[in-house]
Amino acid sequence: MIRMSWEDDSIGPDVAAAGRLVSDYIGRDAGCFGTSSDLEEALEASRYSSHPYSSPPKEWPHPIEVVNARELPPVLVDRYNEAGGEGTALCGIFPEIRRAWASVDNSLFLWRFDKWDGQCPEYSGEEQPICAVGLAKAKPGIFVEAIQYLLVLATPVELILLGVCCSSSGDGIDLYAELSLQPLPEYTIPSDGVTMTCVACTDNGHIFLAGRDSHIYELQYSTRSGWHRRCRKVCLTGGLSNLISRWVLPNVLKFGAVDPIVELVIDNERYILYARTQESKIQVFDLGKNGNGPLKKVAEERNLSDQRDGRYGGSRSTGGRAASRLSKTSIVSIATVSTMESKWLHLVAVASDGRRMYLTTTPSIGTGGPVRGLTGLNAIHNRPSVLKVVTTRPSPSIGLGSGITFGSLSISGRPQADSLVMKVETAYYSGGLLLLSESSPATTSRVLIVNRDLTLPLMTSGSFALAGVGTTGRGTRPLRETVSPLSVEGRTLSISDVLPPPEREAAVQASVLESCDSGNIGESSEMTRAKKLWARGDLATQHLLPRRRAVVFGTMGLMEIVFNRPVDILQRLLDSNAPRSLLEDFFQRFGPGEAAAMCLLLAARIICDEENIVSNAVAERAAEAFEDPRVVGMPQMQGGSALTNTISTAGVGFNMGQVVQDAEPVFSGAHEGLCLCASRLLWPLWELPVMIVKGESSDDMQIDDGVIVCRLPIETMQILENKIRSLEQFLRSRRNQRRGLYGRVVGLGDMAGSILYGANGSFGIKDQGAGRNLFNTPVRGGDQGSIPTASNKRQRVPYNPAELAAMEVRGIECIRRLLRRSGEALLLLQLLSQHHVARLAQSLDSNLRRKLAQLTFHQFVCSDEGDQIATRLVAALMEYYIGPDGRGTVDDISVKLREGCPSYYNESDYRFFQAVECLERAVVTMDSEEKEKLAKEALDLLVKVPETADLLTVCQRFEELRFYEAVVELPLQKARALDPAEDAINEQIDPNRRQAALALREQCYEVVMNALRSLKGEPGQKRHHTEFGSPVRHTASRPLLDQASQERYIRQIIQLSVRWPDQAFHEYLYRTMIELGLENELLELAGPDLVPFLQSASREQSKSGNLIIKSAMPSAPSSITRTRQALNLEQAKYLELLARYYVYKRQHVLAAHVLLRLSERRQVEGGEMLTLEQRYQYLSNAVLQARSACSTHATVNSMVDHCDNGLLELLEGKLAVLRFQMKIKEELERIASRVETAGLGDSSPSNDPFPARNIVAEDALAQNAKEKATEISRELKSITQVYNEYAVPFELWEICLEILHFSNYAGDADSGIMRETWARLLDQALSRGGVAEGCSVLRRVGSKLYPGDGVSLPLDTICLHLEKAALVLLEEG
């Protein structure tokens, strides 16, 4: 495989280790500014802080900028002047359609608030004055598609719905360039005498209105026809009494004060409706779990304005001199708290004196905060049941010459004068941002902008604490906010957020999807999603979102303001070439890590703000600041005592309980900043699945029924890819230029393996600080890659500065590789999505589809499983181009893949798919020469990249082409590539390692074996799981071959295989051929290593546990008398093949030795019994081979001498003894059968106490005969055993005579034995049939022993014995 150098290689343990580090930073970042840092905890922590508010440094650029200030449209001003300033006038902002609105009497005006396009359409279709206006999202399926929103107009007599149609500009950039209002006459209903005060709409299209009668109504609309009305008004809070009072009693007869509702607010995440009345009463209504349930009132709270601190249930003011000076306060605004800000706080109410009261609707908030047994997720899904104040935030008031004061009390606790108390007229809260407008009789009003202070808390010693230092016992940083004043001409009437540009909506949606705990994101409005993202804070989102904007609607016009993020402030400091002291102050306030992360955003041009382009000078200065050790610090050893650090924790005394930590490397702020920047770029993707299943049911087993699509749209992935690649390219350029730490570590060499990761290739396990070293640090003098343990920590020698710098550079390089891999993964996902990933996923099996649907981006980038799935998807993508219905060639898509994601598709993959394309062309061509040429070309390409080839599928296609040269060569090439050190045949290494290497090789060998099985027609071919995806498809059927063609191809495969120098493969091949019954081809075509293989296989330990035979088969006759070994059938089969091979090679002596061993082998316990007939066959063949060796004079060799000296004689003798065994076995079986037959024939009972037959003795004889017959059949016996243990005990005298004759007995003693045996044989015959039987036995046995030397057949003795017997019989009558 063609690989790049290690600097550019982005695959391996570096990426996996950096991935774990990114996961850690994502969790840590969420703990500081995300969902883990709950606003309730931060507010609780701030109760013990003396500085909850701060002002921005005067030397810094102002955090607030006014970008546009426009006057009211002239037509609106003229219409208002015509009314004399006495008519009904309302105003507001609709950020969803980028319009501001105002009504004068019965006229409604709409115009752009972000730019003046000269258009201000007026709607005056009603005669009655407009008393309330709202904008609702149109429900799908009711109106035409062009109507995206509904404008709700309420007059004292009617409720009107107008369709809002937005159209884009000619270039398609501005999606809200044109706006038109479409009258809907069928959706106009009477108000029934109720004057509406305000309108609120949910994200799913429900419209709620508040009446001056203090009731809440819902405007319901549908597509009904006939007598059903398409639009109707439903009172949700009034019962029968409300209906009677409305129609029976006139208004003049109604008694009691009415507290009208003046504000409705909807929580679109928790589905709760809040209502604020004129008398500062707040009501809570439940909309159901999905927002479509019936409205249900669950709580109501009065006198909220009198509560000073609601942590303990809301303690009210008891009066006093200070309180007497205060005018009565009221609630001027309420707003929901996003789930991203808090799981426990649900509503914030702003009082007229500037105080904020945070309320909850769940009873689990008490004096100790949230109930710890209830998780935040449960808190979101729990339905509201109460309404109570959790905590109160003091008001930020600016005193005269005394700086910042807090509420009605100064820092010293003295009451302020009434003139110094805030008098809030308008308030707006959204996503952590608060704007307070004070009422003022002057021509200008003051707006206080309160935003979260993201700098580190100021310590009394003048230094700044780390991000985690200075927190409360609950581990949360106190909530600190900055206050910035802004002067507005005239009175402030309305304030609203400005949504991000439409082109950034995709990025917003992607980020909200990651942070959402519940579903229905697709139904959420742009504003809901944007608030969730703004709640994370600027530090976590300034790379993704442009500067936040807001619109202030005043009596004199509209003012658009922007809020500078920390990175914008840093950009202006660098752009203005500010003094170095300001830059150092910035790094101290935000911390080296956060400031370095912002420098990266500028240096790599990642920040998202089209109106504020980063210049080259600013980018270069930011890069220099990122690498400046004077502001980001240097890696150093930290520890050795309790919290010893160059950045002290001022205000914290010595703690006896603190753990004394060992010295550990701590990286600089540059490394921490890179980790923060990388983790925030990957945050919307990292731990979320790359794919989602549309139409998926709740049952995981039904995943195949759904459609797999990419979770993120292509535009979002492109935005994120560009940012990730920008950061990676910046780091690569600094490395190539040897800037910063890269330059300082030049000459130290490659410290990979001893710096980054240990034996397990992972980061270090210790991490106790934001900038702490997360890479393994090896112990000096020990093995490289070892992980420090508690036992060796105290012996660790501190690293010198050069080594620490090299360690940090190594860590930065790993993160750069992770960024590159992530960018390539995003590009690959875009290409897959462009080619309909749902169709590509259909080529995967159900198991892979399930894995794909559950695969996270982290796994897709860092894991082997993700790499394998990506390879399969790339294969499916290539099939789209090179299949039979392909849309092009390999080159059409390979250029994009090789240039954009080389770690997923490299040069080796390119050559592989080129080969696949050649195979596809070869399949369809009809010219045999062209077919072979294309197959050869494909083989040449695949041989260059053997480790990439998907053997199973590619070789099957070669089989279809009958190009078996590739079927053999490719698997063997890959086996060599997978095991280049030949561990599979190395007996000196660890057995487990050897087995692992052999298993890899056998997967490749099996492909060749499958080809043999296919030609042989064997069913149930073994198929191993493929390692690489391939677009090669299998044909439904192959043309049948005749017998001759099959044999020809089989011989071709065997010949090609035998020529390949691979001992392990030859053994695998020989075993398979034996399994398939190709013994003849094996003996004919096998190589010289067949004999050692067969010998080794016959000596291997059997499955039954027999010992391994270590000695080889001897060829000398003197070794034949060795101990007989037990062999199972498998071993015997290999020995038979070995004998056949010797016969085929005309090595008769060796064949005779093998056959002798087979005949003499012992039985394996529990195995199939070898009969005497089979042993006889082995010995007969051995005798035949020995005779052939002696008679083959033309090929006489040294073995003939051995044969002549006794081999043939020995074999013939053993064969004769075996004949005796067989005869004795037959006689024993006959004896047992005869006794059993006699017993069955005489089954009648007998009363004779002394019967003639001894039944017990006969039964014992029969049983003994059976046992001896079985025993003699088990193995070969010696002639002595046959005679003494079987023939004599059972009085088989005829066989005894034959044995004695075979033994060539001679001499006086031997002749006596022969005569005695003849006498016993004759007596036995005489007892059975008299003299006639004796003569018959003599004729039968004598013919076998005659002629002889007279010893075996003593006729004189025999005749004398018969004469005596005849005389005795004659005398007895």
Whole-number pLDDT of residue 876: 86
Q: Answer for the pair 918, 853: CB distance below 8 angstroms, yes or no.
A: no
Q: What is the mean pLDDT of residues 749-771?
A: 36
Q: What is the mean pLDDT of residues 942-953?
A: 78
24-82: per-residue pLDDT in tens? 998 887 655 444 478 898 888 888 777 788 888 999 999 999 999 999 999 999 888 88
The more confidently predicted of residues 169 and 747 is: 169
**Is it the case that residue 571 has pLDDT exceeding 90?**
yes
Among the residue ranges 425-434, 705-714, 1201-1210, the one predicted with the least confidence is 1201-1210
Report how far residue 241's alpha carbon sits from residue 791's, in angstroms, rounded to the nearest whole number: 81
1233-1259: per-residue pLDDT in tens? 888 787 665 555 555 555 555 677 778
Token digits for 677? 């920047």
Report the range out of 809-823, 949-963, 1011-1025, 1133-1147 with the highest average pLDDT.
809-823
Q: What is the mean pLDDT of residues 460-489?
A: 63
pLDDT bin (cut points 50, 70, 90) of residue 1338 is confident
Whole-number pLDDT of residue 478: 87
Whole-number pLDDT of residue 233: 92
Report how far residue 387's alpha carbon sits from residue 368's, in angstroms, rounded to the nearest whole number: 17
**Is it the case that residue 588 has pLDDT exceeding 80?**
yes
Residues, the chain, total? 1373
| Residue 420 C-beta-side C-alpha neighbours within 13 Å | 19
Whole-number pLDDT of residue 621: 94
Whole-number pLDDT of residue 1348: 64
Whole-number pLDDT of residue 835: 87
Q: What is the mean pLDDT of residues 1104-1126?
A: 41
179-212: per-residue pLDDT in tens? 999 999 889 999 998 999 999 999 989 999 999 9
Share of the chain above pLDDT 70, in %: 76
Report the range out of 27-31, 109-113, 1182-1186, 1202-1206 with the highest average pLDDT.
109-113
Whole-number pLDDT of residue 502: 66
DSSP state for residue 545 in the 8-state scheme: S
**Is it the case that residue 593 has pLDDT exceeding 90?**
yes
DSSP-based three-state secondary structure for 1295 = helix
Give me the chain's average pLDDT, please. 78
Q: What is the mean pLDDT of residues 886-894?
A: 72
Among the residue ranges 133-147, 600-614, 942-956, the one predicted with the least confidence is 942-956
Q: What is the dihedral of CA 525, 527, 530, 532, to 10 degrees?
A: -80
**Is it the case that residue 370 has pLDDT exceeding 80?**
no
Among the residue ranges 793-797, 812-816, 1091-1095, 1353-1357, the one predicted with the least confidence is 793-797
Report how far residue 1246's alpha carbon sits from residue 53's, in angstroms, rounded to the nearest whole number: 125
Cis peptide before 991 (omega within 30 of 0): no
**Is it the case that residue 1310 has pLDDT exceeding 80?**
no
Whole-number pLDDT of residue 443: 79
Report how far residue 954's alpha carbon sits from residue 938's, in angstroms, rounded to the nearest whole number: 10
pLDDT bin (cut points 50, 70, 90) of residue 859 is very high
Whole-number pLDDT of residue 600: 95
**Is it the case that residue 1001 has pLDDT exceeding 80?**
yes
The more confidently predicted of residues 1105 and 1208 is: 1208
Q: What is the dihedral of CA 528, 530, 535, 537, to 10 degrees?
A: 180
pLDDT bin (cut points 50, 70, 90) of residue 951 is confident
Q: Answer for the pair 352, 278: CB distance below 8 angstroms, yes or no.
A: no
The more confidently predicted of residues 1156 and 1334 is: 1156
DSSP state for residue 755 in the 8-state scheme: S
| Residue type, position 1102, single letter | S
| Residue type, position 1283, single letter | Y
**Is it the case that residue 387 has pLDDT exceeding 90?**
yes
Residue written as token pair 């902008």: 449
Whole-number pLDDT of residue 648: 33
Which 3-state string (H, E, C) describes 52-93?
A: CEECCCCCCCCCEEEEEEECCCHHHHHHHHHCCCCCCEEEEE
Task: Pick the closest to residue 301 from 314, 311, 287 (CA basis).
Answer: 314
In this structure, the strands spanning 481-489 and 444-452 are antiparallel
Whole-number pLDDT of residue 1249: 58
602-620: per-residue pLDDT in tens? 999 998 766 678 899 999 9
pLDDT bin (cut points 50, 70, 90) of residue 1326 is confident
Whole-number pLDDT of residue 610: 67
222-279: per-residue pLDDT in tens? 887 655 678 999 999 876 555 555 554 554 445 457 889 999 999 999 999 999 999 9
Whole-number pLDDT of residue 1248: 56
The more confidently predicted of residues 296 and 799 is: 296
Task: Pick the closest to residue 959 from 1001, 929, 919, 909 (CA basis).
Answer: 919
517-540: per-residue pLDDT in tens? 444 444 678 888 888 888 888 888
DSSP-based three-state secondary structure for 552 = strand
838-847: per-residue pLDDT in tens? 888 888 888 8
Whole-number pLDDT of residue 744: 74
Q: What is the mean pLDDT of residues 326-352?
A: 89
Q: What is the mean pLDDT of residues 1264-1283?
A: 88
> Which DSSP string do the residues of 831-890 spell out, in sequence order?
HHHHT-HHHHHTTS-HHHHHHHHH-BHHHHHH-HHHHHHHHHHHHHHHHHHHSTT-SS-H
**Is it the case that residue 760 has pLDDT exceeding 50?**
no
Q: What is the mean pLDDT of residues 625-644?
A: 76
Among the residue ranges 401-405, 544-548, 608-612, the one predicted with the least confidence is 401-405
Among the residue ranges 46-50, 97-101, 506-510, the one predicted with the least confidence is 506-510
The more confidently predicted of residues 909 and 73 is: 73
In this structure, the strands spanning 158-167 and 147-154 are antiparallel
| Environment class of 705 (CB within 10 Å of its CB; exposed 0-12, middle 13-18, buried 19+) | exposed
Whole-number pLDDT of residue 47: 81
